[in-house]
């Protein structure tokens, strides 16, 4: 798959590196071309990467997404993965429905929420397996776009979970803020979820 990545920070390097290792063509657009080139030899402008990619990972701060999407131009038909967390002080959401806002600005793109629940160190793992169980990755979006991103989740050695339409993305965003808040307060958030018999 031709995967464009917007941004050249931790999430871009972690997920981009995994997908390149899995055989995908990874291309990067970022303010810092040198950092982009550390992730992939294929570096371009926001609009060049948008035009040539089938799937694009938005790996910039939540507050910068609108600027980057505007610079990318026409994103129609592209699967646009939103992994951003709009979280401010006290682990509070600064935007109530980030993914829906992106869908409004990226006209005719297929916006998907995924990869926002785990820290970057998890996405660097090959594969992320905990207690013998592969990491499950919920994905919200249209069925077709979720299917596309599911294959990218499997390439990480993770299990994709179809978590419903993009209207449910705000639940994932709130879940992340709530759980991170518990962790910041020193609680074992994982202990809230006992394993269920399968």
Helix intervals (H) in the chain: 10-21, 33-39, 46-52, 65-72, 98-105, 120-123, 143-155, 169-184
- Beta-bridged to residue 57, according to DSSP, are 5, 81
Stretch that binds ligand NAP, among 17-25, 56-64, 103-111, 167-175 (CB under 6 A): 56-64
Do 151 and 117 contact (CB within 8 A), yes or no? no
Assess 80 for contact with ligand NAP (CB under 6 A).
no
- Which one of residues 3, 15, 43, 68 is an interface residue with ligand NAP (CB under 6 A)? 68
- Which one of residues 18, 40, 53, 84 is an interface residue with ligand NAP (CB under 6 A)? 84
What is the spatial distance between Cα 51 and Cα 34, in angstroms, rounded to a whole number? 21
List, in order, residues 6 or more apart from 80 with CB less than 8 Å away: 55, 56, 58, 102, 106, 109, 110, 111, 112
In the complex, what is the shortest distance from the CB of residue 176 to ligand NAP, in angstroms, rounded to a whole number?
Answer: 8
What is the spatial distance between Cα 29 and Cα 33, in angstroms, rounded to a whole number? 8
Assess 181 for contact with ligand NAP (CB under 6 A).
no
Q: What does 8-50 look like in DSSP terms, one character per residue?
A: -SHHHHHHHHHHHHTT-EEEEE-S-HHHHHHH-S-B--HHHHH
In the complex, what is the shortest distance from the CB of residue 71 to ligand NAP, in angstroms, rounded to a whole number?
Answer: 8
In the complex, what is the shortest distance from the CB of residue 63 to ligand NAP, in angstroms, rounded to a whole number?
Answer: 7
Interface residues for ligand NAP in 93-152 (CB under 6 A)? 116, 119-120
Assess 32 for contact with ligand NAP (CB under 6 A).
yes
Assess 39 for contact with ligand NAP (CB under 6 A).
no
Assess 164 for contact with ligand NAP (CB under 6 A).
no
What is the spatial distance between Cα 173 and Cα 184, in angstroms, rounded to a whole number? 16
- Which one of residues 18, 40, 53, 85 is an interface residue with ligand NAP (CB under 6 A)? 85
- Which one of residues 1, 10, 38, 178 is an interface residue with ligand NAP (CB under 6 A)? 10
What is the spatial distance between Cα 176 and Cα 8, in angstroms, rounded to a whole number? 22
Assess 18 for contact with ligand NAP (CB under 6 A).
no
Binding residues vs ligand NAP (CB under 6 A): 7-12, 30-32, 35, 59-62, 64, 67-68, 83-85, 116, 119-120
């Amino acid at each position: 798959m031709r995967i464009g990545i917007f941004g050249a920070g931790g999430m871009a390097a972690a997920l981009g590196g995994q997908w390149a290792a899995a055989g995908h063509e990874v291309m990067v657009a970022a303010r810092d071309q040198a950092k982009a080139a550390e992730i992939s030899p294929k570096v371009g402008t926001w609009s060049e990467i948008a035009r040539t990619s089938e799937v694009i990972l938005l790996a910039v701060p939540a507050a910068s997404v609108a600027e980057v999407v505007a610079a990318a131009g026409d994103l129609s038909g592209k699967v646009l993965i939103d992994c951003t967390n709009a979280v401010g002080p006290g682990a509070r959401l600064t935007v109530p429905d980030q993914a829906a806002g992106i869908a409004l600005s990226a006209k005719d793109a297929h916006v998907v929420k995924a990869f926002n629940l785990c820290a970057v160190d998890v996405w660097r793992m090959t594969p992320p397996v905990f207690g013998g169980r592969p990491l499950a990755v919920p994905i919200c979006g249209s069925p077709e776009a979720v299917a596309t991103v599911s294959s990218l989740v499997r390439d990480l050695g993770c299990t994709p979970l179809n978590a419903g339409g993009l209207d449910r993305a705000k639940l994932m965003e709130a879940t992340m803020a709530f759980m991170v808040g518990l962790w910041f307060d020193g609680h074992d958030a994982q202990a809230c979820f006992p394993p269920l018999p399968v």
